[in-house]
Amino acid sequence: MRKSCLGLVVAIVMVLLATWPAAAEKIGEVSTTFKLVGANDKIVIEAFDDPDIPGATCYVSRAKTGGIRGSLGVAEDRSDASLACRQTGPIILPPEVASGRADGKRVFRKSTSLLFKKLQVVRFYDKKRNTLVYLTYSDKLIDGSPKNSISTIVVLPWQK
């Protein structure tokens, strides 16, 4: 009984880790507004690799609210974001991506407020043009934002 419960827990953790959106690596930031008290407002640049497609990397720039509330983590960041994705190595599409079954899959998510608001990146595959399409947008529990950005990667043979 104990071994079967442990096996079930391990299996659940592995499934969750396999479906978890990618983690971002901070590339840099610039201050946009000086705050006398607390951190300045910033634009943060982060990179993440598509968790399902080695060789596909996206860069997100997003607004980060400063001040006392921002320093404490209770401020809500703006929905403004920009996205640029590039081929950084050989790309071999997994069958679920190539077939379109994985269209709309979330590949990145970042919390942009204490509760409920998230910046997300989802992936689609345009089979006719052999192109990966990444869309970034912001959503809330009740309402989201129409602000969005897309970037594409044409899947080509990799040459160093």
Closest CA to 132 of 146, 120, 150: 150
DSSP state of 39: B
Q: What is the strand order of the sheet 41-49 is part of?
A: 25-33, 41-49, 56-64, 81-87
pLDDT confidence of 20, banded at 50, 70, 90?
very low
pLDDT tens digits, one per residue of 84-134: 999 999 999 999 999 999 999 999 987 766 566 688 899 999 999 999 999
Q: What is the pLDDT of residue 11?
A: 45
Decide: 21 and 109 in contact? Cβ < 8 Å.
Answer: yes
* Helix, strand, coil percentages in the chain from 3-state DSSP, rounded to 5: 20, 40, 40
Q: What is the pLDDT of residue 93?
A: 96
Q: What is the pLDDT of residue 131?
A: 98
Global pTM value: 0.76
Q: What is the pLDDT of residue 146?
A: 80
Q: What is the pLDDT of residue 3?
A: 57
Q: What is the strand order of the sheet 148-154 is part of?
A: 105-111, 118-126, 131-139, 148-154
Return the SS3 of 67.
helix
pLDDT tens digits, one per residue of 26-83: 999 988 878 777 777 888 899 999 999 999 999 998 887 776 665 556 566 666 789 9
Burial of 85 per CB tally in 10 Å (0-12, 13-18, 19+)? buried
Q: What is the pLDDT of residue 62?
A: 82
